Amino acid sequence: MAEFFRVQKTSNYTVVDNQCIRDKRLSYKARMLLILMLSVRDDFQITKRWLVQNSEKDGRDSVESGLIELQKCGYLKVTRQRNSKGQLSDALYTIYELPVEEDNGENTPEQPEPENPSQAPEPEKPALEKPAQENPHYRNTNIRNTIPPISPTGEGEPATAPLKPDEILFAEFWEVYPARNGRKNGKADAKKVWARLKITSKLYDKIMCGLYAYLRSDEVVRGYAMDAARWLRNRRWEDEVVETPPPVPADPILPGERLEDYVW
């Protein structure tokens, strides 16, 4: 039995769907984090520092573990943004009041097949016009163009090709991945495994979410981080990492005191 003392709300209140409050997959900490983020206005810039500052009990690691829960359950998506120079800047937090399930292709409409495949009309081929040549009497068909492109500065240096999106995502992954005894090895092998995974935005979020949890594991804390290629090949981001709590220091006995003074 319980008694409730409610107040009549006319201002300074938040309306939230009960589904996210009663989601048993979430801890109480993750539920309150979600409610806190849903209570601000839509144009408010949410940052991890702001979330930590709003609690006198939870630190950075506690808030980060709650955010990881929300990401795994589909309530939160974190996108790393870049500034005009291509450098990583503040993260963009997308909060969902109801969880967003991953699209596995079940809702993709199927294309109708013709009753008789032999009678199916062939797609029309657009006619391509031949571009006019400046010098129609000379055609170079044997010599390859080996001159590198000129940089926009005009100094004659080869222009650097822009990174592909997949290479940018791998660079962010490699930057966060922990070193083993102070060294990072096997970048080329990890990049090959990364390419075979066919990274999508949803898979990238899952990998980074699992990587941040792996950083707090006892294996990494003791300096025995696994090679990145093996970590990716074994899909270790799907593991449930058990964090080892730090030992609680015993209260020291000050000079001039006796052990019997502490026995009740």
pLDDT at 189: 92
pLDDT at 167: 83
pLDDT at 77: 87
pTM (whole model) above 0.75: no
Q: How confident is the model at residue 70 (pLDDT cuts 50, 70, 90)?
A: very high
Contact 228, 203 (CB under 8 A): no
pLDDT at 106: 43
pLDDT at 25: 92
**Choice between 157 and 224, residue whose per-residue pLDDT is larger:** 224
Mean pLDDT, the chain, integer: 75
The full DSSP string for 155-217 is SSPBPPPPPPHHHHHHHHHHHHSPPBTTB---HHHHHHHHHHT---HHHHHHHHHHHHHHHTS
Least confident of 6-15, 49-58, 249-258: 249-258
Q: What is the dihedral of CA 214, 219, 222, 226, to 10 degrees?
A: -90
pLDDT in tens, 219-255: 888 888 888 999 899 998 888 776 655 555 555 555 5
**Torsion over CA: 74, 76, 82, 87 (sign):** negative
Average pLDDT rounded to a whole number, residues 57-65: 87
pLDDT at 14: 87
pLDDT at 239: 84
pLDDT at 232: 92
pLDDT at 68: 92
Quote the CA–CA distance of 145 and 51 in Å, as a whole number.
56
**Choice between 181 and 70, residue whose per-residue pLDDT is larger:** 70
pLDDT at 260: 55
Q: How confident is the model at residue 9 (pLDDT cuts 50, 70, 90)?
A: confident
Average pLDDT rounded to a whole number, residues 167-190: 86
Quote the CA–CA distance of 179 and 193 in Å, as a whole number.
18
pLDDT at 146: 46
**Choice between 149 and 234, residue whose per-residue pLDDT is larger:** 234
For the beta carbon of residue 214, count every other beta carbon within 10 angstroms: 20
Average pLDDT rounded to a whole number, residues 254-263: 54
pLDDT at 73: 92
Determine what percent of the chain falls in helix, strand and coil, rounding each to the nearest 5: 35, 5, 60
